[in-house]
Chain A
């Protein structure tokens, strides 16, 4: 699904993150999908999304520069396919 800056998201409760040099591996115990999160910034946004009212707040709060927000929203939207992240 397509997320926007106004979406309220959370990491799926069945997802575990394993830190790696490039970012993290995300594993969904429910659908058994393994996904590569290829930057430490996206890892932080995914992990902490539930603590912010919207994605806009999450991106700002995690220190992601504003010009990168569109690409982050796109990347996060693609993570809804594997249900690593979902709307809460």
Chain B
């Protein structure tokens, strides 16, 4: 079977996801301005420990080899280690994303003693000024302390995960150096206009010139840097970046949210992209294999407005979520289309009519009362 037909096969769906993200809670100690899930406060409908374990048992039977756990801040959950241990002991490896606030020396040692575990510390600047502007005051120091604790505990190679913005794109070399200094692996991903990111995307997303900069940097360093395949829209610049070069939503990727709702990908927490719930009859398996939404996403997609563009094969029209939340038709160009076709469409839909994330768990603003 050729590589092309393998991609075609993957587009028509697999028996189980390869890359499953599970947001364990909407609770978070931070309030990042670009949070994909608008996290902050716990939702009382979140899955219980027993329900979460039952989902893991189902994923084990489906032979999902590893999952990505996130949130919110997953370590906020009191049963975090119980869920982690249940997953790993059932042969489901875990990579979890954290802001590091709960990785003290004791927890670092506990994590270092576990197998089949990856940890990804989020960091959006190589100094407090740039990082904290997005992730909140003190979050840079917190992340660095967590990295030091993991290093001192002998965890081995963890990951540093960066969302590339207009303000940190010039720090890519510094991020790499920081990762190297910890023996860590750098992961950089694309900023999506999802969750609270829908409100901040206009100010934070890289300019067109900066996109070229990201592309050139990845071509030079891509071998040792992870991207979650998130920059495939940049392939229209020329040579393809490493990766599958396709939107995996509902095909090889999906999201389980803290309530057990299953969405097509982590960047589209919206009713239109909800396929079902893990507690429904037939469970996750039926949602994955038979839901109307996922079936539809596995049909051949029309190139729409991009049909006459010579770069369509390279960029595949870009990211579905990025189009959706910026009001661009799903068969239209990516808002960050490197040819500029998406940019022209931005603003066509009045801001008030843009799709909004279905849920908002942001913490209420604290009003400072002066004494």
The answer, yes or no, to whether B6 is at the interface (CB within 8 Å) is yes
Q: How far in angstroms is the closest Cβ of chain B from A81?
A: 15
Given A16-B91, A38-B1, answer yes or no on A22-B9 (Cβ-Cβ < 8 Å): yes
Contact segment of A1-9, A28-36, A46-54, A60-68: A28-36
Complex contacts, A21 vs chain B, CB 8 Å? 9, 14-15
Q: How far in angstroms is the closest Cβ of chain A from B328?
A: 32
The answer, yes or no, to whether A25 is at the interface (CB within 8 Å) is yes
Q: How far in angstroms is the closest Cβ of chain A from B365?
A: 42
Complex contacts, B91 vs chain A, CB 8 Å? 16, 29
Complex contacts, B18 vs chain A, CB 8 Å? 25, 34
Complex contacts, B116 vs chain A, CB 8 Å? 29
Chain A residue at minimal CB-CB distance from B16: A18
Q: How far in angstroms is the closest Cβ of chain A from B171?
A: 28
List 16 A–B pairs whose Cβ atoms lie within 8 Å, in order of A's numbering: A16-B91, A18-B15, A18-B16, A18-B65, A19-B15, A21-B14, A22-B5, A22-B6, A23-B1, A25-B14, A29-B65, A29-B116, A32-B66, A34-B18, A34-B65, A38-B1
The answer, yes or no, to whether B93 is at the interface (CB within 8 Å) is yes
Complex contacts, A36 vs chain B, CB 8 Å? 6
Q: 17 other contacts beyond A20-B9, A22-B6, with CB at 8 A cut-off?
A: A16-B65, A16-B91, A18-B15, A18-B63, A18-B65, A20-B14, A21-B9, A22-B1, A22-B5, A22-B9, A23-B1, A25-B63, A29-B93, A29-B116, A32-B66, A36-B6, A39-B1
Q: How far in angstroms is the closest Cβ of chain B from A25?
A: 7
Q: How far is the CA of A21 from the CA of B16 in the complex (A)?
A: 11
The answer, yes or no, to whether A69 is at the interface (CB within 8 Å) is no
What 9 pairs across the A-B complex have the smallest Cβ distances? Answer: A38-B1, A27-B65, A18-B63, A22-B9, A20-B14, A20-B15, A38-B6, A36-B6, A22-B1
Q: How far in angstroms is the closest Cβ of chain B from A18?
A: 4
Within 8 A of A (CB), among B39-89: 63, 65-66
Chain A residue at minimal CB-CB distance from B95: A32
Establish whether residues B63 and A16, one from each chain, have CB atoms under 8 Å apart when the complex forms. yes
How many residues belonging to B are interface residues under a CB distance threshold of 8 Å? Answer: 14
How many residues belonging to A are interface residues under a CB distance threshold of 8 Å? Answer: 15
Q: How far in angstroms is the closest Cβ of chain A from B131?
A: 28
Complex contacts, A16 vs chain B, CB 8 Å? 63, 65, 91
B residues bordering A, Cβ < 8 Å?
1, 5-6, 9, 14-16, 18, 63, 65-66, 91, 93, 116
Chain A residue at minimal CB-CB distance from B2: A38
Complex contacts, B14 vs chain A, CB 8 Å? 20-21, 25
Complex contacts, B66 vs chain A, CB 8 Å? 27, 32
Q: How far is the CA of A38 from the CA of B66 in the complex (A)?
A: 21
Q: How far is the CA of A6 from the CA of B91 in the complex (A)?
A: 34
Establish whether residues A32 and B15, one from each chain, have CB atoms under 8 Å apart when the complex forms. no
Q: How far is the CA of A29 from the CA of B94 in the complex (A)?
A: 11
Complex contacts, B5 vs chain A, CB 8 Å? 22
Q: How far in angstroms is the closest Cβ of chain B from A64?
A: 15
Contact of A32 among B1, B9, B16, B93 (CB under 8 A): B93
Q: How far is the CA of A27 from the CA of B60 in the complex (A)?
A: 13
Chain B residue at minimal CB-CB distance from A32: B93
Q: How far is the CA of A29 from the CA of B63 in the complex (A)?
A: 12
Q: How far in angstroms is the closest Cβ of chain A from B246?
A: 14
Q: How far is the CA of A34 from the CA of B17 in the complex (A)?
A: 13
Q: How far in angstroms is the closest Cβ of chain A from B82?
A: 21
Complex contacts, B16 vs chain A, CB 8 Å? 18
Complex contacts, B65 vs chain A, CB 8 Å? 16, 18, 25, 27, 29, 34
